[in-house]
Amino acid sequence: MRTQVVIIGSGPSGLLLGQLLANSGIDNVILERVDRNYVLGRVRAGVLEQGMVDLLDEAGVGARMHAEGLPHEGISLAFDNRRHRIDLHGLTGKRVMVYGQTEVTHDLMDKREAAGLTTVYEAKNVQPHDFDTASPFVTYEKDGVTHRIDCDFIAGCDGFHGVSRKSVPQEAIRTYERAYPFGWLGILAEVPPADHELIYANHPRGFALCSMRSEHRSRYYVQCSLDDKIEDWSDERFWDELRRRLPKEAAERVTTGPSFEKSIAPLRSFVAEPMQFGRLSLVGDAAHIVPPTGAKGLNLAASDVRYLYSGLREYYLDKSSVGLDAYSGKALSRVWKAVRFSWWMTTMLHRFPDTDAFGQRIQEAELDYLVHSQVASASLAENYVGLPY
Ligand code: RFL
Ligand code: PHB
């Protein structure tokens, strides 16, 4: 079998890239390790930057997002039992869209199916080959049979644990990493959110976040220990801990109810450089991870897709490889700024093992400065709504 671009992974990166390419007449096949429902079962990001919203529109999958998503014009920062609004729209002229990654993935899968494009689910032992030559190919196993797809390019959209980055010779890649000494415990519950906008809370007991998926579905997080097990966290314990970490007026507005999803995620910053090796390009989590505090992971995947898609389009339609050759440099320049922002938000809002009374006061002073200085608020807002592509 032959195609123009083999895409490894059907997360948001792979599906969005595949759709944009197909819309430009560029043939592609997606190989995914697990089944469709497993992919859709993952609960992850919830905040889309305008740049990603525009890209989903360009791909032709924006209709449900515009009908059901919630445009937000601000966020709150809470500390020292008070809450302060950052007017994202007033400071930047831009908004963000609250619409779950699960829904984005669903819309992209439906569109791909309707367009009759090929996705091979439960493709085992996927392996990219010869990407340092002009004739790369990918092999995989399905139902015990080995298949080979010849192609022009391979897009590694297979997440942090995928095979693409691991296939690159070690001496050709440099990685940067920071693991944080805590995790996030997240729940979903069919209850109205505490507020119509997100609340990021710094508290001596640890960070908390009030988010949502709709006007009747809430997504909440509390910072937890990496040793904690889900079984340690009954719903009751979760709601008590969340409310303790919020200012009193916000805590009183938390509606509790049974959770229907509960998971713990470790926090990590990671970047692999470069993001391109001959005809193999890494996209999204395959190349970089950020802690979720800045809501940047999914949005970085979208900007990578934008750069790679433009390069591939130029290659096929204008017969120029200038854009493709610039992919890694362009993507990394934006990635590092989001890595910096996510690290800064994480550092300012969480309790670290060595956060003593002095450290707590320093965090509160930084937050106090941030919410009362227009310049500092504008800098946060500019990064939160997303730097330009
Ligand atoms: P994904 O979504 O991980 O998709 C990769 C896909 O590749 C498949 N795969 C393979 N396929 C074939 N062969 C192999 N050998 C393969 N190995 C893996 C996987 O099954 C999967 O379907 O990466 P992508 O598309 O780059 O998308 C990135 C986003 O998913 C990610 O940045 C965000 O979800 C990060 N993230 C969050 N970002 C936010 O902005 N806000 C959040 O609140 C937020 N919460 C999270 C998160 C990531 C989490 N992870 C990775 C565990 C919470 C969690 C728990
Ligand atoms: C979410 O709704 O899951 C969410 C929102 C904002 C973040 C992280 C996660 O910064």
In the reported structure, the alpha carbon of residue 185 is separated from the centroid of ligand 1 by a whole-number distance in angstroms of 17
Q: 200's torsion region: left (phi>0), alpha (psi -120 to 50) or beta?
A: beta
The pLDDT tens digits for 31-81 are 999 999 999 988 888 999 999 999 999 999 999 999 999 999 999 999 999
Nearest to 354 by CA among 181, 167, 156: 181
Residue 252: pLDDT over 90: yes
Residue 42, pLDDT score: 85
In this prediction, residues 6-16 reach a mean pLDDT of 98
- Token pair 């004739």 in the structure block, residue: 135
Strand pairing report for 208-214 and 124-129:
unpaired
Task: Measure the CA angle with vertex 140, ends 139 and 142; round to 5°.
Answer: 145
In this prediction, residues 112-140 reach a mean pLDDT of 97
Residue 327 among the catalytic residues: no
Residue 41, pLDDT score: 85
Q: Is the CB of 40 under 6 A from ligand 1?
A: no
273: which 2 tokens? 């450089």
Mutate to test the pocket of ligand 1, among 158, 168, 220 (most ligand atoms within 8 A of CB): 158
Helices (H), the chain: 12-23, 36-40, 50-59, 63-68, 88-92, 101-114, 235-245, 248-251, 297-317, 322-325, 327-349, 357-372, 374-385
In this prediction, residues 361-389 reach a mean pLDDT of 97
Residue 17 Cα distances to 11, 69, 313, angstroms? 10, 22, 11
In the set 140, 221, 327, 384, the catalytic residue is 384
Q: Which atom of ligand 1 is nearest to the CA of 126?
A: 13
In the set 296, 309, 315, 330, the catalytic residue is 296
The secondary structure of 244-292 as a DSSP string is HHS-HHHHTTPPP--EEEEEEEEEEEEEEE-SEETTEEE-GGGTEE--G
Q: Model-level pTM?
A: 0.97
Rounded CA-CA distance 378/177 in Å is 28
Reported as type and span, the H/E element at residue 212 is strand 208-214
333: which 2 tokens? 């320049």
In the reported structure, the alpha carbon of residue 20 is separated from the centroid of ligand 2 by a whole-number distance in angstroms of 26
Residue 260 Cα distances to 197, 219, 256, 339, angstroms? 22, 11, 12, 31
Altogether, the residues listed in the chain come to a count of 389
In the reported structure, the alpha carbon of residue 127 is separated from the centroid of ligand 2 by a whole-number distance in angstroms of 33
In this prediction, residues 283-308 reach a mean pLDDT of 98
Rounded CA-CA distance 259/217 in Å is 10
Binning pLDDT at 50, 70 and 90, where does residue 114 land? very high
Beta-carbon contacts of 327 under 8 Å, excluding residues fewer than 6 positions away, are 275, 276, 281, 307, 308, 311
Binning pLDDT at 50, 70 and 90, where does residue 195 land? very high
Q: How much of the chain, in percent, has pLDDT values that exceed 70?
A: 100
In the reported structure, the alpha carbon of residue 189 is separated from the centroid of ligand 2 by a whole-number distance in angstroms of 14
Q: What residues form DSSP beta bridges with 224?
A: 183
The pLDDT tens digits for 198-245 are 999 999 999 999 999 999 999 999 999 999 999 999 999 999 999 999
Please provide the CATH number assigned to the domain covering 180-267+353-385.
3.30.9.10
What average pLDDT is seen over the chain?
97
Q: Which atom of ligand 1 is nearest to the CA of 9?
A: 7
Rounded CA-CA distance 294/345 in Å is 6
Map 72-99 to HEC letters: ECCEEEEECCEEEEECHHHHHCCCEEEC
58: which 2 tokens? 């360009």
Rounded CA-CA distance 257/185 in Å is 16
Q: Whose CA is nearest to atom 9 of ligand 2?
A: 45
Q: Which atom of ligand 2 is nearest to the CA of 345?
A: 10
Residue 200 among the catalytic residues: yes
Distance of CA 273 to the CA centre of its chain: 19
Q: Which atom of ligand 2 is nearest to the CA of 200?
A: 10
Binning pLDDT at 50, 70 and 90, where does residue 298 land? very high
**Residue list, ligand 2 pocket, CB within 6 Å:** 45-47, 198, 211, 219, 292-293, 295
Q: How much of the chain, in percent, has pLDDT values that exceed 90?
A: 99
**In the chain, what are the domain boundaries?**
5-77+95-176+268-345, 180-267+353-385
Residue 180 among the catalytic residues: no
Residue 310, pLDDT score: 98
**CB environment 124-143: b (16+ within 10 A), e (fewer):** eebebbebeeeebbbebeee
In the reported structure, the alpha carbon of residue 200 is separated from the centroid of ligand 2 by a whole-number distance in angstroms of 10
Residue 3: pLDDT over 90: yes
Q: Is the CB of 293 under 6 A from ligand 1?
A: no
Residue 192 among the catalytic residues: no
CB 255 within 8 A of CB 235: no
Q: Is the CB of 31 under 6 A from ligand 1?
A: yes
Considering the segment(s) 5-77+95-176+268-345 as one domain, its CATH architecture is 3-Layer(bba) Sandwich (3.50)
Q: Whose CA is nearest to atom 35 of ligand 1?
A: 297
